[in-house]
Amino acid sequence: MTKPQLLTSAPPQYVMATRIAAVGSLLGLIVLGLLWELWLAPIRPGGSLLVLKVLPLCIPLAGLLKNRMFTYRWVSLFVWLYFIEGVVRAWGDKAPGNYLAMIEVVLCVILFTACALHVRQRLLAAKAAQAMAAALGAHTDVHKDVLV
């Protein structure tokens, strides 16, 4: 009798979906911030230094693309700064700035949700792999790549 094979390293479909949503919404925030502060509705005509708010958003992009769990965790906390800015500017700016701020709020909610679901699903997959390995009598430590 043969033993069943352990789970492959290919990520489940829902994990890939959350990854795509997180990277897409982060790229959306970067593009929105650039367009907003340089051309669409800058605070000063011709653009302002507020465009520099996009630079911190570029930092987690590499970690999300490399699928690093730690990056998903801290981005889910970091994104709330941009959410707050979006809410404040949606309330206080005139059109079209307030509409752009509402788009920023939606992108922030999508990014947070995608990161939170991604972390949750990867932890559940790691727990399931550990349980399957224990059931098969294999080594029960979860590989660090699953959790990092």
Residue pLDDT, tens place only, 133-146:
888 876 555 555 55
Give, as one character, the DSSP assignment of residue 137.
T
pLDDT tens, residue by residue, 60-69:
999 999 999 9
Q: Are 25 and 114 in contact (CB under 8 A)?
A: yes
Would the pLDDT of 10 be above 70?
no
pLDDT tens, residue by residue, 71-91:
999 999 999 999 999 999 999
Q: For residue 118, which of 26, 5, 8, 6 has the smallest C-alpha distance?
A: 26
Would the CA dihedral through 16, 22, 23, 28 be positive or negative? positive
Q: For residue 100, which of 24, 59, 40 has the smallest C-alpha distance?
A: 40
Q: Name the pTM for this structure.
A: 0.85
